[in-house]
Amino acid sequence: MPASQARSRARDRNNVLNRAEFLSLNQPLKGNQESRSSGRKQSGQAGAAGAQNSNPKERRQSQQLPEEDCMQLNPSFKGIAFNSLLAIDICMSKRLGVCANRASSWGGARSMINLLGITGHGIPWIAGTLICLVKSSTLAGQEVLMNLLLALLLDIMIVAGLQKLAKRKGPYDINPGLLDYLTMDTYAFPAGHASRVAMLSKFFLNHLVLAIPLRILLVLWALCVGFSRVMIGRHHITDVLSGFVFGYLQFRLVELIWMSSNTCQMLISIW
């Protein structure tokens, strides 16, 4: 037995892999394992403590960041088209705002453009409708005027509600006037003047007997009032176009809820 043990020890000494520099290849040192495992445990505990100390809002943001990055790097076709149309709308509206201030190219015509815009404001139209209603002596005239008053009030409420929802600013930083505050027309989308003149022109074309030249002038007046709001920098082009669309829809709504002559007489008697 002693001889066999001596021979095995000799073989172990002659084995190259048993040298100190090659021991790490055969089996890792226990000290290194313990140090690595302790380091991993400490880093894991530190990470867990940091995760516990971080707010839930930060964790949600960190989880959402990859998705947001993917959306920015790979935008959808609808998003690209919408942003492109929005940029074109803003650029064209700023170019057409030739009366936005006194220093603009058509700054001298700003007063005239503002006067044209007043012809499509809600307060003068409501006041004029009430005066005509008081002076009217025919049932047919009172019926038309009462429904016109209803249409004007609906226009103010609908446009004010839509503007509060959209809260879109105009292309230029222009403060609304006193009449605009009275009708709650303080935002850009949709254009209140455009919706009102579209509704009024359609109402008059349907319920008044007008000659062809007057019909053409009525339509031209509505278009001029609508786009005058772009010229003074209060609205974008899409605001005016959407105002025309909403004005037509308001006219259709008034036609659906049209008040009869008896209903109008009852309301007039109460008033």
- Which residues participate in catalysis according to the annotation? 193, 235
DSSP assignment letter at 105: T
Helix axes 237-256, 192-207, angle to 10 degrees: 40
Q: Which helix (DSSP H) or strand (DSSP E) does residue 224 occupy?
A: helix 212-231
Q: Could you give the C-alpha distances from 132 to 36, 90, 155, 198, 230, in angstroms and in order?
A: 93, 41, 19, 21, 31
Residues sharing a CB contact under 8 Å with residue 189, sequence separation 6 or more, in sequence order: 162, 163, 166, 168, 235, 236, 238, 239, 242
Distances (CA, A) of 27 to 20, 139, 187, 194: 11, 108, 76, 85
